[in-house]
Structure 1
Amino acid sequence: MLTLKSLGAAGTVTGSKHLLSNGRHNVLIDCGLFQGLKNLRELNWESLSIPARDIDAVILTHAHLDHSGYLPRLVKEGFRGKIYSTAATRDVAELILKDSGHLQEKDADFLNRHKLTKHAPALALYTARDAEIALGHFSTADFDQTITILDDLRFRFRHAGHILGAANVQIDWGGKRIVFSGDIGRYNHPLMPDPVSVKEADYVVVESTYGNRLHDHTDPAEALGAITEKTIKRGGTLVIPSFAVGRAQELLYYFWKLKQAGRLGSVPIFLDSPMAIDATTLMSRHMQDHKLSPDDAREAYKIARYTEEVEDSKAINNNPYPKVVISASGMATGGRILHHLKNYAPDMKNTILLAGFQAAGTRGRALREGAKELKIHGMWVPVNAEVAHIDTLSGHADANELIRWLSGFKHPPRKTFIVHGEPDASEGLRIRIGRELGWDSIVPRQDQEFKL
């Protein structure tokens, strides 16, 4: 008998971990970090409801931190199995996990040096070295290739869009088929392939990030151009907190299109994130996983000035002239973007552009909700800059697109599990699934177990 238990992303939009068990073997689908609110982040320090050594394999849908970021900790706690992913996901995970370990080491060191911690000493959840060890457990599979593990579990990756290498995963085990959506991308995206539907499943586990919302259909390039021109005209700098993987490359593409159209003049564009720079390079390594031609990829990604070194990053803030600064992280939870926000947020000439989903408890969400000050590095920084947002740049399917993907199944599954969403989003999608598709669906609670 199979059981399903969500160890994360149940009632929240972060920390994706879904455990499938048959009584003899245990397989984890995704292994993400909790982010955002403090009470969620603290869950990263708690042991899972199953010992790490008892998990036989991990199947990873994509490399974003809320889906992959707990892997080094899992290995550190005793996991000895394989981590299965697409080749591009493995390469992106290398960037993200090493960076995550490095940032956690730096944050712990900062707190200890400045005596800003209640712990003695503050510790990193895991280190960059722990991330390297975890990467040694990866085994890659092609899209649409059937892989057999643990004697009788078969799985297959299909394109999900969203970011480079992202997949939904079909698992056939014990006579049942379970499909995990991962994070579903947008249809007709300029860079990523359309999400591929699955025809048959006994059970579906679907994300609901935008389960109760629709994206604006404004042309992203036009919206980005208007905000940039308005900022430059008043002598300001446009600061964009950006996810290093996916969003940064999309922004560069649109800025390239704007420059091609003769807009923005010679205003410099800085990509100030070593990880985003490396992720941009990966686009050329995995040409089969996105829509750009080699020539377009080469030209689009020449549009920015790349700043890898810390001193070059600091020099941006010493530059008084109008410019565009794209820097990680996308929800302003850490990284170089914090230094840019400290520098540019107080000045009303500048604009902070939010270009993606902002989880509860993050500085990005605070800005989206009109915060007049942000706490950064222990200091309160006034926010006088204009705060703008472009929802059309989201890498997640909206409610209509989620229903479109689900409508690809020929027959209703026995049950649909709605995960990876804040409560109102998950409940909104549950209601729509029942009303429009007539399916039986449920929003699981953390650690709630279901017999399949």
Structure 2
Amino acid sequence: MRLHFLGATGTVTGSKYLIEHGGRRLLVDCGLFQGYKELRLRNWSPLPVEPRSIDAVVLTHAHIDHSGYLPLLARMGFRGKVLCSPATFDLCRILLPDSGFLQEEEAEYANRHKVTRHQPALPLYTREDAVRCLELFSPLAAGHGVEALPGLHLELAHSGHMVGSSFVRLQGDKRSILFSGDIGRPHDPVLKPPASMRGADYLVLESTYGNRPHPQHRSFEQLAAVIQRTAARGGVVVIPAFAVGRAQALLYGIHRLKAAGAIPDIPVYLNSPMAANAMEVYLKHRDELRLSAQECREVAGAAHIVGSPEESERLNGRRGPMIIIAASGMATGGRVVHHLKAFAPHQRNAIVLAGYQAGGTRGATIASGARSVRIHGQEVPIRAEVAQLDDLSAHADAGEILQWLRGFSIVPRRTFITHGEPDAADAMRQHIERELGWEVHMPYYLESVDLA
């Protein structure tokens, strides 16, 4: 068995791990690189392995940094099965076509407004490419394993990061390997905690928050304080949020705060039809949630859904107080960038960053305290209040990951630290070596390891 690291090394995006076993090839995750231009350019470079030679893909979950390269892989000749949980398939049916549509929309905007050096700017792939790749999906029934490749048994278990997110465990004749994907939080207000795992001979482990703990205070209280201050100024609260996962948690929090009288009853706009569709998936797979059916319905009705681009544009001409939740979560694209252009320059408004901001993204620039951020070729001043709510992250921190690892009955021969910025990954390495005494390795991009 041989493992190749084709992404998520030294960064939190582009997750791709290639397993070679018995003359066959299996790709675990198939994500897009995001953030720094150097990383994004990898999406346009040829894949280090011929797509037609890959026999199957397994997805840990539906977020674009784990699934968003699939339409391109299929367009380049991949014809194998895409294995995942049923909820991941349901979410990919929403997320992947939307990803293709956004790329087409952004290329069209760049060409129309001449804010591109490319003649013309082209999308990485189209909505049609994404729709076609969905024909390759073969979701697994909950609790059932399958032969991913001949002699390689696949098991999925709930990881608590989002609906459908899974730990991926592969068992061969002589060795096993476990991929953590993104690990959720044991006390997430919406999702049930990550499943306990028995471990494996080898472990590929995320490290997004490996260098810092989440705050101990309750972020909904911090969110309430920001909303109260901004509403008193007559301002607008703009919240970039992933359409799947954080948008639902934010709606839950705002609903609870309003019900408790902790924030004023101001309008809430969910400017993401995709997030509204994702809520239907959450309702369908409610067995993964802590919420009752009634609570799910209340959360779904907590905001006005902004449907058309025209309605979205009209929001930018309104004054507050109001709350706008819009994708994407790191402000890399989508409707939220137009809201940032409209509202970031004014001191009465607020920008709330609800989760991790990868290096090189607009969200990271805003979080750093920068005075401006580049949007559509222009420098947009940031005079609005900026608040970051790390405790609303869907990723476990270092302590929560260590708690999960201590439940293993099989100690890994080697643990590979991925899906983290270099300082976070190295901090996670040190935690595991010092506190658990395990052998740990931080792989580099395109490294290949023989799992002997």
2:353 is equivalent to residue 328 of structure 1: no
CA distance in 1, matches of 2:294, 2:115: 49
Q: Is the Cα–Cα contact under 8 Å of residues 142 and 157 in structure 1 kept in the other structure?
A: no
| Residue 240 (structure 2) aligns with | 241
Deviation at 1:23, TM superposition (A): 4.8
Identity of aligned residues (%): 49
For the 8 Å contact 2:61–2:67, the answer to whether it is kept is: yes
Superposed counterparts of 1:163-242, under 5 Å: 163-242=162-241
**Take 2:305 and 2:112, find their aligned partners in 1: how far apart are those partners?**
30
Secondary structure of the equivalent of 2:6?
Answer: strand
Query: Counterpart of 2:110?
Result: 111
Q: CA separation in 2, counterparts of 1:116 and 1:264?
A: 40
Superposed CA deviations along residues 293-341 of structure 1, whole A, max 9, x for unmatched, are 1111001221111111112212222222301111111111111101111
Q: CA offset at residue 382 of structure 1?
A: 0.9
**Aligned match of 1:18:** 17
Aligned to 2:161: 162
**Is 1:277 matched with 2:286?**
no
Of 187-196 and 141-150, deviating more is 141-150
Instruction: Report deviation, 1:263.
Output: 2.7
Tell me, in whole angstroms, the C-alpha distance in 1 between the residues paired with 2:431 and 2:262: 42
1:206 is displaced (CA, Å) by: 0.5
Q: CA deviation at 1:181?
A: 0.3
Question: For residue 150 of structure 1, what is the amino acid of its counterpart?
Answer: L
Preserved CA contact (<8 Å) 1:96 1:275: yes
The answer for the alignment partner of 1:40 in structure 2 is 39
Report if the CA contact (8 A) 1:143-1:159 is conserved: no
Structure 2 length-normalised TM:
0.98
Q: C-alpha distance in 1, partners of 2:346/2:120?
A: 36
Q: Hey, what's the Cα distance between the residues in 1 that align with 2:443 and 2:43?
A: 19
1:344 aligned residue: 343
User: What is the CA–CA distance in structure 2 between the aligned matches of 1:128 and 1:373, rounded to whole Å?
Assistant: 32
What CA distance in whole angstroms lies between the structure 1 residues aligned with 2:170 and 2:196? 14
**Equivalent AA in structure 1 for residue 98 of structure 2:** D
> For residues 13 and 361 of structure 1, what CA distance do their matches in structure 2 show?
11
Equivalent position of 2:408 in the other structure? 409
Cα deviation code 1:351-379 (max 9, x no counterpart)? 10111100011110001001111111122
Partner of 1:386 in structure 2? 385
Moved more, 255-264 or 366-375: 255-264
May I ask how many residue pairs the two structures share in their alignment?
Answer: 451
Pairing 1:64–2:63 present: yes
Aligned to 1:195, the other structure's residue is in SS state coil
Letter in 2 for 1:231: T
Q: 70-79 vs 115-124, which deviates more?
A: 115-124
Written as runs of structure 1 = structure 2, the 5 A alignment for 1:255-294 is 255-294=254-293
Deviations 1:198-243 (CA, angstroms, capped at 9, x unpaired): 1131001100111111000211221111110011011111110111
AA aligned to 2:270 is L
Q: Partners in 2 of 1:445 and 1:372 — Cα distance?
A: 34
SS at match of 1:408: coil
Q: Letter of the aligned partner of 2:352 in structure 1?
A: L
Letter in 1 for 2:17: H
Residues 1:366 and 1:90: Cα distance change in structure 2 (over 3 Å): same
Report the aligned-residue RMSD: 1.1
Provide, for residues 86-124 of structure 1, a one-character-per-residue CA deviation record: whole Å limited to 9, x for no partner: 011011111111111011111222222333333332221
What amino acid sits opposite 1:269 in the alignment? V
| Stretch moving more, 140-149 or 8-17 | 140-149
Q: In structure 2, what is the Cα distance between the partners aligned to 1:143 and 1:107?
A: 37
Match of 1:372 in 2: 371
2:110–2:376 contact (8 Å) kept in structure 1: no
Gaps of 5+ in 1: none
Measured in 2, the distance between the counterparts of 1:91 and 1:441 equals 35
Supply the AA of the counterpart residue of 2:9: A
Looking at structure 2, the residues matched to 382 and 200 of structure 1 have their Cα atoms a distance apart, in angstroms, of 49
Contact 2:234 2:319 in 1 (8 A): no
- Matched position secondary structure for 1:75: helix
Equivalent in the alignment of 2:303? 304
- One-letter amino acid matched to 2:323: V
SS of 1:244's partner is coil
Deviation at residue 289 of structure 1 after TM alignment: 2.1
C-alpha displacement of 1:269: 0.7
Instruction: Give the conservation status (yes or no) of the 8 Å contact 1:26–1:54.
Output: yes
> What amino acid sits opposite 2:246 in the alignment?
R
Return the offset for 1:61: 0.3
Cα distance between partner residues in 2 of 1:170 and 1:303: 38
Q: Distance in 2 between matches of 1:148 and 1:368?
A: 44
Give CA-to-partner distance per residue, 1:274-302, whole Å, 9 cap, x none.
11111122211211222211111001221
The one-character-per-residue Cα deviations of 1:416-444 (angstroms, maximum 9, x if unpaired) are: 01111111111111111000000001010
Contact (CA 8 Å) 1:178, 1:203: kept in 2 or not? yes
Q: Is the 8 A contact 1:72 1:131 kept in 2?
A: yes
1:84 paired with 2:83, answer yes
Structure 2 SS opposite 1:136: helix
- Is 1:397 the counterpart of 2:399? The answer is no
